[in-house]
Structures are given as structure tokens and as C-alpha cells.
Amino acid sequence: MNPEDLKYTKQHEWIRVDGDTGTVGITHHAQEALGDVVYIELPKPGDRFQSHQAFGSVESVKAVSELFVPVAGEVLEVNSSIKDAPETLNADPYGKGWLIRLRLQNPAEISQLLSAKDYEDYVKTQE
């Protein structure tokens, strides 16, 4: 269910790395647990974050949850279309539901994240 080409966090974010850039979103498991997403707060391009620092929040009919960057970096781009259509996060969390693109501060941090299999095993331990 979770794409093999991504890396995952225990906070249920994913990152797709391409060179020194990473695209970040939340996992299918996270959007399913949240329920219908109604609002998303995201940072501005140029904002910088340390790994696992909160970079925004997602509000659903059930709760408000913070979003955490998987690795340190500078925000290059924000998915502005998702702010107008937050339900995209529920419909396509690994595609059109991406949240931000980062310039990675330290690409080696990626090796500390979970593989798809490790993430699936982690989720099973939380159920």
C-alpha cells in the first residue's frame, strides 16, 4: 500500500527524494486516521526547518494535527492547490496531495527514515 520509493517517519509523513530536493506529504494511514481534511496550514517558501520540527498543521472533522518535516531543509515550494482543495489529501496522499518541497540541508538524514516495509510494520504495532 505504501510506495516503495518513499521514506517514512513514525509521525506518518513521507518524503520522496530527487537529488537534493525532497517532496513531503502525509501517509495514507495518517489521512485515514484523520478523516475528512477541511483545512491545511503550510509554511512559506524560504522557511527553514530542522528535522522533525513542526512545519504546519492539518485540520480534519476529528482533530487538528501538527505536520513534521522528516529531514532538515529549506522550503522551496508549497502545494498551493491543496489549500483550496484540502480533500485532495484524502483522495491522493502520495500524488496530488503532497504538501511541500524542501532543499535538503543534509541528504544523509534520509538514511535514518523508515522504508515502506519498516513503516508498515511500525503501523501494525500501533494498532
Q: In what order do the strands lie in the sheet with 64-68?
A: 37-41, 54-60, 64-68
Give the three-state DSSP class for 90: helix
pLDDT at 48 over 90: yes
CB half-sphere exposure, 30, CA atoms < 13 A: 25
- pTM of model > 0.85: yes
Q: Which CATH class is domain 12-110?
A: mainly beta
**Domains of the chain: which residue ranges?**
12-110
For 111-126, how does the pLDDT look when each residue is reduced to its tens digit (9 = 90+)?
999 999 999 999 999 8
Q: What share of the chain is helix, strand, coil (3-state, %, to 5)?
A: 25, 35, 40
